[in-house]
Amino acid sequence: MIVSEIISEIRHKRWEDKSASWGLVPTMGSLHEGHLSLVRQAREENNRVAASIFVNPIQFNRKNDYDSYPTNLASDLELLEREGVDLVWTPQKSLVYPEIFQTYIDVTQLSKVLEGAARPGHFQGVTTIVAILFNVFQPTRAYFGQKDAQQEAVIRRMVEDLHFNIEIRSCPTVREKDGLAMSSRNANLTKKARAAAPVLFRALNLAKVAIEKGEISSKNIYQLLKNEIEKSECAQIDYISIADQKTLNEIKIIAGNVLISLAVFWDEVRLIDNIRISNK
């Protein structure tokens, strides 16, 4: 496995064999099974696999969140090597964002709702770094987790609008045994919050069951989710959304392809989760 901070070295390895297909797994490090499932999927679908490890400062809108983001480069590299990754880019912040840096990518509508409304500037940071990664690696395919459903939608929009010749692949959310979606931020939960946090997936499943039984009112589903989550006294709901999966516009009647997503604070730690529902 080649690990380098230097763009020319990454490009050299990338283009060594021009006929090889490459899967790219962009990460911010602190890797868990969720990331590894993306790597495995990339391994299955490509001749070579690349990853990036870079905690992207411009996608954090709260300094505290950036400062407390867990990092563990040595064990991340060990995990990637074990998974048979061929190439890893671990750039310095000053290389990616030199002082003179002034080019940002903004997906103007999709990135302003939900996570974008709660975290202004977040998706501009994500699309800017992902475009940089796409240009450095020029992968055949790039892999993202469905836990970040809006991120996937925003990146797909950018790829289509800017004609990146890259296939976007998304992989199912990987969960702990108790249903909590795997996230690097889980490590920052207090013991009490960690014990309570599986309520998010439980609530989403209750919503799913209610819809399967015929509930079509978003208002009722919203209330069901809110009641369930508020049973846990340390949860602070940031938002609950019931939206069209593609446009991310809120819907009143649950029909078609629906994304139910939520963000909840546990003290300073903000967790997101979602489920996709097809209600024909």
Helix then strand then coil, in percent of the chain rounded to 5, is: 40, 25, 35
SS3 state of residue 209: helix
Task: Pick the piece of the chain touching ligand PAF (CB under 6 A) from 12-20, 25-33, 102-110, 246-254.
Answer: 25-33
What is the C-alpha separation between 269 and 187, in angstroms, rounded? 10
Rule CB under 6 A: say whether 42 interacts with ligand PAF: no
Rule CB under 6 A: say whether 114 interacts with ligand PAF: no
Q: Which residues of 62-86 are buried (b: 16+ CB within 10 A; e: fewer)?
A: eeebeeebeeeeeebbebbeebebb
- Give 181 or 196: the residue with its C-beta nearer to ligand PAF: 181
Site string for ligand PAF, 173-212 (x = CB under 6 A): ----------------------------------------
Rule CB under 6 A: say whether 130 interacts with ligand PAF: yes
Say which amino acid occupies 38: L
- Rule CB under 6 A: choose which of 27, 173, 232, 274 binds ligand PAF: 27
Rule CB under 6 A: say whether 28 interacts with ligand PAF: yes
Task: Pick the piece of the chain touching ligand PAF (CB under 6 A) from 22-30, 165-173, 199-207, 257-265.
Answer: 22-30
Kindly state the smallest distance separating residue 184's Cβ from ligand PAF, in Å: 8
Cβ 11 vs Cβ 89: under 8 Å: no
Number of residues near ligand PAF (by CB under 6 A): 10
Q: Which of 12, 35, 122, 163 is catalytic?
A: 35
Kindly state the smallest distance separating residue 248's Cβ from ligand PAF, in Å: 17
Helices 199-212, 218-230: crossing angle, 10 deg rounding: 150
Secondary structure tally for the chain: helices H, strands E: 11, 9
Distances (CA, A) of 9 to 60, 95, 137, 146: 28, 14, 11, 31
Cβ 133 vs Cβ 109: under 8 Å: no
Concerning whether 163 is annotated as a catalytic residue, the answer is no
Rule CB under 6 A: say whether 171 interacts with ligand PAF: no
Query: How many CA atoms lie within 13 Å of 193's alpha carbon, on the beta-carbon side?
Result: 17
- Give 26 or 116: the residue with its C-beta nearer to ligand PAF: 26
Residue ranges binding ligand PAF (CB under 6 A): 26-28, 56, 59, 126, 129-130, 148, 151
| Active site residue ranges | 35
